[in-house]
Every structure is written in C-alpha cells, then in structure tokens.
Chains A and B, each alone.
Chain A
Amino acid sequence: MIVEHDILIVGGGLTGLRAAVGLCDRFSVGLVSKVYPIRSHSIAAQGGINAALTNNPDSRDDSWEKHTFDTIKGSDYLADQDAVEIMCREAVPIVYEMEHWGCPFSRFPDGSIAQRPFGGAGYPRTCFSADVTGHVLLNTLYERAVAKGVKIYPEWFVTSLCIEDGQCHGIVALDTRSGELIPVRAGTTFFGTGGYGRVYQHSTNALINTGSGIGIAYKAGAPLKDMEFVQFHPTSLIGTNILMTEGCRGEGGYLLNNQGERFMQRYVPTAMELAPRDIVSRCIQTEINEGRGFDHPLGTYIQLDLRHLGEKKILERLPGIRNICIDFIGIDPVREPIPIMPCQHYSMGGIDVNERCASEVSGFYAGGECACVSVHGANRLGGNSLLETIVFGKLAAKAILEDLAGGARKAEEKPLLKLRDEVEKKIRKLTEPGKEKPYKLHAEIGVAMSEQVGIFRTREEMDQALAKLIEVKQRYRDVGVSSPARHMNYELINALELEYMLEVAHTIILGAILREESRGAHFRRDFTTRNDQDWLKHTIARMGPDGEPVLSFKDVVITRFQPMERKY
C-alpha cells in the first residue's frame, strides 16, 4: 500500500491544521498526526495570543510596530526582524479570522475581544479565552478542518522523511492501529510537529512532545537552527510540572519566597512578576539555589500567590488553573498559594526555515514550534507561540500555493520504497530481544538535560551531559522492545522516537557548549554577558557524514532595531 497526495502535512496541532485549511481547496492534501488532532499539544496552551487589537483601555495606542519591538527586545535581538514584523502585522487579522471562524474569546464589557497583560509586553495585548486559549483555538481550527473536509490520518506515526538529491518525496509512517508501514508520496511535505520538551526530565509539555519531527528532519538532511535556546517557564506545578499560565501573573499574581517576600522587587523592580520568562525563571532558580525556597518531598518550590485576586476573578479568569491545582496537588489557589518551580517549556530552536516556512530542501517546509524562522530568537514572549503557530501555518500555505502555481511537484516512488525497507529493517531490529529498555535511556538523558543543560549552564556540566549523551547513543543500539506486534505498540513508538530525541539533545548540547555568551534563555555562568561582537548570529546544526552534528552560523536579519542592552 502507498498513499499519495500533492501536499502532505505532518502534525494536527494549530500549525498543521491552519496550513491544511489554507491548502485543501486547491490541492489534494493529507494530514498525518500521531494522535487525533484535537489531542495535539496546542490544546494545552493557556494564557493567550498576542495581537495589537487595542481593545484594552490601557492599550489604545498599541500597534503592531510596538508588538514587533517588544518581541525583538524579548528575543535578546537574536530574532530575524523582518520575520517578526511579518508575524506581528499578521497577528491582528489572524485573531479576527479565528474569531470569525467561531473562536470563543473572552470579552470586554463592550463586546470586543478581551486582552490581558503578559510578560515583556509594553501593553496588555494578549487575547484570551479564560485560561484555555489553546483549547478554544485548536477546537476552532479543527472545526474548520472538519467543515472543509480535510483528509486526516489519525494515529499515524511518521518514522522517517524521504529526502534525496535535495528534494523531498514524502514520508514513511506507521499506522499505529493496523501496525502497517505506509509510504506516503508527496511532492510537498510540511512539518508542524511541535517541540521537544520531553527531551528534558522536567517539562510542562505533553508526553507526545518528543521532538521526533525535528529529529526526523535533521536525520534526513534538513539543518536545524538555534537549538541551544530552550525556554524554561517560571511557573510549573511541582511534581507533575503542569503549566501554571503566565496569565496568573498577568492577572496580578505574586511570586513569594520563604521570607514572604515579593523577591522580583530585588531583580526587576519595574516589570516585577511580568518580566520576560528567561529573567523570571533565573530569579526563581536563584531564590531556590540560595535557600529561600520552600522544602517539599516533590522538590524545592516558590509560591505563586493568587489569593489577593479574590475568588470571583480566579473563577472567571483562571478556572482551569484552579481545577488543575485541586486535581493534581490538592490545593485550592483561592485559599492557598501554588507551589511552583521553573522547568522546560518551549523550543525556540528548530528546523531552519525562512519567513515563508521553506527549508533549504526543495519541497520540504516547516512551521510552528518544530521550526525556527526565527521570530523568538533567544527568548520567546508569552502569547507569541499561539500566534506563531497560526500565522506561520497560514503563511506556509500561502508560500506553498505560490511555489505550486505551475502545478504540484512530482515525487519519486523509488527512494520512498527504499526508505520503507530501511524502516522495516530498523523496526525488526528494535523488536528483537535487547538488553536496553527505551524508557531507561530516555530517563537518563532527561536528567542530564534538566540538570546540566538547564537554566544556568557551564562548560563543565555540559561536557558531562555530552559524555552521557554519547554513552546513551551507544547503548541505544542494544534497545529491544517487549513485543514484535506493531499495532498500538507504544513501547515500539517510544523506541523509535528515542533515536530522534537523542539527536535533538545532541544538537542542543553542542550548540550550548559552542555559544560562549549569555543571551536570552541561554545563560552561561562562565560567560555571563551578551557578546554581540562574536555571537549576534544563528547557530546551524546539520548532520555530518559520520552522523555527528556539524555546526555553522547564519547572520541575524536586522532591519530597524539596532541591538541595545536589554533592560526591563
């Protein structure tokens, strides 16, 4: 069996769905997703989506230009400024479009879309639906995809991407229900496969966020960009690391140490709790490291206090947060502060694409968190990721339509069948008895990444992480899963994904070791300042002939904002 489409989309989150909706009228489009699209991790986004709508009484003189500046400053000047301009300009029509398609945003008394303040933003411009903004956006786009009859292949796990002679020919996928390996031939392939949070032990991300899409593209020959830039969210629930939205602080929540002190006062007295995420995470981690955290069997924590907001506001604006706290740690934030710690949250880096979502491989495009345009640079602002997913899903569709103006690209069957045979061989080997279990290797690399390639980094610790990675890569060759049955065999999928996770981790560690400066979320204790002279550039990682990452650099696009010191 072989499946054919003009355009193949991998990923059923916001980016993939938006691209599919933009393409399905003109071409044969197939959307492959390893879960039902509505289960994608976009669903978990809470706080909101940024757009300079000027609905908030305090944001009447906001503009897309100011949004652009905030984003570039937030990125510590590593974002490509032309791309940021495009995104922030497009933000306003995108939010209206989603609203017209039915997205139930929260409203202001005048009936306009409600907006709340978010970190690093000069104006309250984050549009939201209580604290379930990702949920309502994903439902709306899925509804749109249903209305348009987009062909979806749910629970198909992509094992490999087929690139030969600089041209993409499609993918090989495992239909997890039947257990069959299926080549999908397509002249154009778009990845909206999400981030790699699960490479870290502590992450707010869903279990499906392994970053395998990024690893698959990299292994097939597509370069990655800025992989060392990993966002650590300031506020995740201790234990489970479930996200406590920045909206908690946007609505007025405090961060308190064990002295009862709003410690942000000491670090960023103007922005306080609403400084950008990289900064707040470092402040919290410093408080914890210096003994001003609270002890708990699940780990040392800092308090996120919402009590002064009052029950009414919490129930109206943060009902999901309240439910999560009650369900998962038995605490009602109306009455008690929430115990939080910073942890991995978002991947600024990803597949190297331009502002049209095109990679250097003909016929291969990527957008959303798996890609790096770059619009977030060294640190993403809260509310800009939902924005990025939909804007670049839309722009990718536009770019693909332009590129296919003369008709769909042709793809070859031969390399695809060859690839299928390779995957077949790989799976057969994984299902033979082996002495290593995928979960153990996953856990070991996760600990190394969280502890040694985390919020604060040093050469020494990262060298240890690298040694661990090389050891784990070696041991991966002896991985064996329990059953050769291929249908609904999640252990097999975990084993297949682990290979790509290790590649992703490798590029993160090497990029972080190489970059001897501190910029945005990448903070080196041994190089504590930003160094524009040597490091105002993107890191590119591609797989070398020996399978090791080879790093090079790319210029940052600077249009109207010259880099200056980033102060809040």
Chain B
Amino acid sequence: MIQASTYTFRILRYDAKEPGSGPRFASYRIKVIPGLTVLAVLIRIRDEIDGTLSFRSSCRSAVCGSCAMVINGKIDLACRTQVATFNTDTIILEPLPNFEVIRDLVVDMEPFWQMYEKIQPYLIRKSPAPEKEIPQSEEDRRRIDQFVNCILCACCYGACPVLGRDPDYMGPAAAAKLERFLLDSRDERPADALSAFDHEKGLWGCDTLLRCIDACPKDVRPTDAVVGLRKSMLKTRFQRLLGKRNDEA
C-alpha cells in the first residue's frame, strides 16, 4: 500500500492587475502520495481547491520548459520535482525571480525572449547549400551537445545574480545559445559577430558564480559558454591588433 502524507503548500500569490492587494502567501493542505510531482499537486490545487491559481504547464516531462519556479528556495521545473524529495512537509512555491509577475506563478517572459532574439539564434551560412547535408563529424556534433539541450525554461535567468541587479544584462541562456551557434562547425557568422556583446551588459557582465549551472534542469553549463565566448572575443581582438582580416569565420 502506498502511504499518503499531508503537505502544506504555501504559494506566493499576486495579480499585477490588482496591485493594491499586494503579494501574499496562500496555504493549501493536500494529501500527497510518494512520487507525486510539484506540478501534479499544483494541478490538483487548481482543480479541487482553488480554481483561481495561475501557473504555466504543458509537457509534464521536463522538455517544454513551461513550469520553472522557485521550490523551497531552489529554482527548478515543477514537473520534474518530486514533493517527497524535500525533508519537510511544507513546500513554498514562488515565481521565477528576475521577472515581472503577471499573476501568481506566471511571469512575463518577454525580456527573456528579447535577449534570445538579439543574439541571432539561428545558423548563419555564407556558402551555398550543398545538395545533401552539410557534413559534420561526430566530434563536432558532440561539441554543441550540451548547448543544444537548452529548453529555454529560464531557470538560469531566474538564478542569475547579475540579472538581479542589472536587468539589461544578456543573461546565461542567451550566452549558451550564442555559443551553441558559434561552436557549430556549420555556422559561418562573421568573426566580429561577438562585438555586439563585448561589454558589461553582454559577455563581460557574468560574475561566474555558476548559479545558472546549478539551476539548469538539463545539465547545460551557461558559464562554459560565457568563458568560451570571452576567449573567442579576445582572440578576435588580438587578430585585429595584429592587423589580420576580421571577417574570417
């Protein structure tokens, strides 16, 4: 027999359309069987206790990136977090930091997408497309693997201390995406493509505190991207100093 235990869920509630009522914690007591995820509990709360609770969800299998939030102080996806893994019967849920709250656990992702779009997140080619695939070695494919795995859930963005003090900083996810293309053996963006991020709001903004790595549910290491991209920028600067053409990919 599976034993259910009673948990208290304290959820930070706020509605930007009613700023007067201010943020507040609402408590819900609910019986949980082992193996149940935070998302499953949220759905039950909305269904059975309080239909006004707002949160995003979709795949419930940690691939779509909808349900990032703060769970007992730790940023993670609600769908892959099991309630029983915490050594307490109280679970506190808060919206992802570094974003404006729209309602309850739903935050305004627009700044995140804007930063994503800024880095030109697509393969740039100058060579004409071959008849078949552009060849890529297994090793070259492996180099981009961790960055390809990013699901754009913004856990890293929420965890980033730099974004906490400077909302104009590009953030870890955009850096990881940029590195995903720069490291791709097929990408032919100009060598000075990084110059747009060669400043404190860009790649030099990172404090390398590794919080993003800790927060990522897919084992992506955005700090690796930042470090790699900084090296590339320095390389370009040296080449420029030595008078080399700077448009070589």
Contact = CB atoms under 8 A, between A and B. Distances in A.
A36 B47 CA distance: 23
B133 A104 contact: no
A489 B141 contact: no
B24 interface: no
B122 interface: yes
B73 interface: no
Contact of A207 (B60, B125, B187): B60
Contacts of A43: 59, 63-64, 151
A18 interface: no
A487 B51 contact: no
B35 A437 contact: no
Interface stretch (B102-110, B163-171, B190-198, B232-240): B102-110
Contact of A488 (B57, B106, B151): B106
Given A39-B66, A489-B52, A489-B54, A206 B60 contact: yes
Given A99-B133, A439-B48, A488-B54, A324 B59 contact: no
Contact of A297 (B2, B15, B47): B2
Contacts of A460: none
B152 interface: yes
A466 interface: no
A137 to B, nearest CB: 12
Given A39-B66, A482-B50, A482-B51, A111 B61 contact: no
A417 interface: no
B144 interface: yes
A104 B187 CA distance: 11
Contacts of A489: 52, 54
Given A39-B66, A129-B148, A327-B80, A107 B141 contact: yes
A135 B51 contact: no
Contacts of B129: 96, 100
A318 interface: no
A551 to B, nearest CB: 33
B59 A206 contact: yes
Given A297-B2, A328-B61, A437-B47, A491 B52 contact: yes
Contacts of B106: 488
A41 B62 contact: no
Given A143-B121, A323-B62, A104 B54 contact: no
Name the interface size band of chain A. Answer: 35 or more
Contacts of B116: 146
B138 interface: yes
A239 interface: yes
A491 B141 CA distance: 43
Interface in B122-157: 122-123, 125, 129, 131-138, 141, 144, 148-149, 151-152
Contacts of A328: 37, 61, 80
A346 to B, nearest CB: 15
Interface string B50-83: 1110111111111111100000000000001000
A107 B136 contact: yes
A536 interface: no
A177 interface: yes
B186 interface: yes
Contacts of A17: none
A44 B80 contact: no
Contacts of A491: 46, 51-52
Interface string A105-127: 11111111100000000000000
B17 interface: yes
Interface string A428-470: 0000000001010000000000000000000000000000000
Given A328-B80, A483-B51, A111 B137 contact: yes
A104 B47 contact: no
Contacts of B60: 206-207, 240, 242
B13 to A, nearest CB: 12
Contacts of A558: none
Interface in B21-39: 35, 37
A44 B64 contact: yes
B47 A144 contact: no
Contacts of A139: 148
B117 interface: yes
Given A100-B134, A439-B47, A483-B52, A320 B58 contact: no
B184 interface: yes
A44 B102 contact: no
A320 B54 contact: no
Given A143-B121, A483-B51, A488-B106, A96 B132 contact: yes
A324 B148 contact: no
B125 A100 contact: yes
A144 B102 contact: no
Nearest to A110: B135
Interface of A: 35-36, 38-41, 43-44, 53, 95-96, 99-102, 104-113, 129, 132, 135-136, 139-140, 143-144, 146-147, 177, 206-208, 239-240, 242-243, 297-298, 320, 323-324, 327-330, 437, 439, 481-483, 485, 487-491
16 contacts: A43-B63, A102-B187, A104-B184, A111-B135, A112-B133, A132-B63, A136-B148, A143-B122, A144-B122, A206-B59, A207-B57, A328-B80, A329-B35, A483-B51, A488-B104, A491-B46
3 tightest A-B CB contacts, nearest first: A102-B123, A482-B51, A111-B135
Given A44-B63, A481-B51, 11 more contacts: A35-B66, A40-B64, A44-B64, A102-B123, A102-B186, A111-B136, A147-B120, A147-B122, A323-B62, A328-B37, A487-B102
